[in-house]
Structure 1
């Protein structure tokens, strides 16, 4: 009997052009997945990640789309399915930070954060669920933040959007878990990226201090959750923050 090579699994990673998202794309591609990188604006950065993955022997493709736009999400998923006929892993990483005190937050600013950080994952999940249900296998991994548990001043909208994302994870897990689909959340702590570094600078903090992680620290956890080995993990929020929630900061430079 001739053994057949199992089909290569296909991953879609939103916000995949920089920071945590780019590290996740590299990790999944290194693990042998065909990786579809979704980005909104950073054309050069997205192309650079794809070239890095391809040069290392992986398979990656980039797609420009706004995940908060229902039509663009539908077309995005259609393109992936037309090319690879499957979506096995969805990583909802795309997000925005627009920190400002609640009293100074206008409704359009609030809506922008909630639409990208919460409605975007909702639209992406809804678009890929039919194919995952047909496959009887899937992994949906949402990227939240420790700001849900320890929000700083000005992070009300951001923390609310990520808290909603964690609730979405639990609700969806209860709906599709019996169909072989695992839905979990990863909540990073302070990670050095091009999105967090300007914020840290504005707050007078150093990203070189203890307590800061690297995008690869999050990518490794996402890579595990994308495998069969994580089949018994469902509806969970897993914190990866270097112990920040349980350890008293030694100085103000370790807090964000």
Structure 2
């Protein structure tokens, strides 16, 4: 598909698998034209796009490293030429590289922050001129409850996601009067390709059930729409109650 669209246009990073793929499917089902952005998983990205098209949705697939400024600039410029607008940006792409701080090299720390924090900053900066011109836009950042209850070795990851939540609040203050809404969704434990290798560090099967990607996509779809117009600069926890439920056998404070 290469024609301009009359639908609202959404850009979803990390859209080939897990939470990102579920968000792409949901937004397409809601009638948005979805630009799925991925970095490595060619087959997975094509599979999600095929599923969306089979259900009558409109989807475009783009390969880009969201942590690289030149690639972000090329990506957003191409999307604007292709679809003529960008109404929704979902900053979902992220990486985990868990290791104890004393064993973390500077390059490893910087890579986590570059993908998880600088990437959303680059993309937000790239789409803002269009959203400001439209006087309408939604930017939804995907954080993590590791900001509040990090597992062992999650210093870099928790710091990057904490920074992302601060970015949400700061940008919401800057552009809130311009019809643009910036919010964050913070998942709890969600079964994805990225979390499976660290499931033991995230508590195994203790506590509330693990979530599935579709548990997040409804919240993102709501924040992407008109009904969320009075919501600004907020972080929404979607974790099955993990933050408020004591472990069995735990003692009260």
TM-score by length of 1: 0.93
Write out per-residue CA displacement over residues 29-64 of structure 1, whole angstroms, 9 at most, x where no aligned residue: 000000000000000000000000000000011100
Q: Flag structure 2 segments of 5+ consecutive residues without an equivalent.
A: none
Residue matched to 1:66: 65
Are residues 226 and 63 of structure 1, via their aligned partners in 2, closer, same or farther at CA, if it must alter by over 3 Å? same
Q: Flag structure 1 segments of 5+ consecutive residues without an equivalent.
A: 1-5
Shift of 1:249: 2.2
Shift of 1:205: 2.2
Shift of 1:201: 5.0
Residue matched to 2:92: 93
Are residues 160 and 203 of structure 1, via their aligned partners in 2, closer, same or farther at CA, if it must alter by over 3 Å? closer
Is 1:225–2:223 an aligned residue pair?
A: yes
Residue matched to 1:152: 151
Are residues 187 and 251 of structure 1, via their aligned partners in 2, closer, same or farther at CA, if it must alter by over 3 Å? farther
Shift of 1:250: 2.9
| Preserved CA contact (<8 Å) 2:152 2:201 | no
Aligned mates of 1:155, 1:18 — CA distance in 2: 22
Aligned mates of 1:237, 1:131 — CA distance in 2: 24
Residue matched to 2:213: 215
Residue matched to 1:192: 191
Q: SS in structure 1 opposite 2:199? A: helix
Deviation >4 Å, runs of 4+: 201-204
| Preserved CA contact (<8 Å) 2:72 2:123 | yes
Alignment RMSD: 1.6
TM-score by length of 2: 0.94
Shift of 1:210: 3.7
Aligned mates of 1:235, 1:215 — CA distance in 2: 23
Shift of 1:7: 3.1
Are residues 203 and 160 of structure 1, via their aligned partners in 2, closer, same or farther at CA, if it must alter by over 3 Å? closer
Aligned mates of 1:60, 1:251 — CA distance in 2: 48
Q: How many residues align?
A: 246
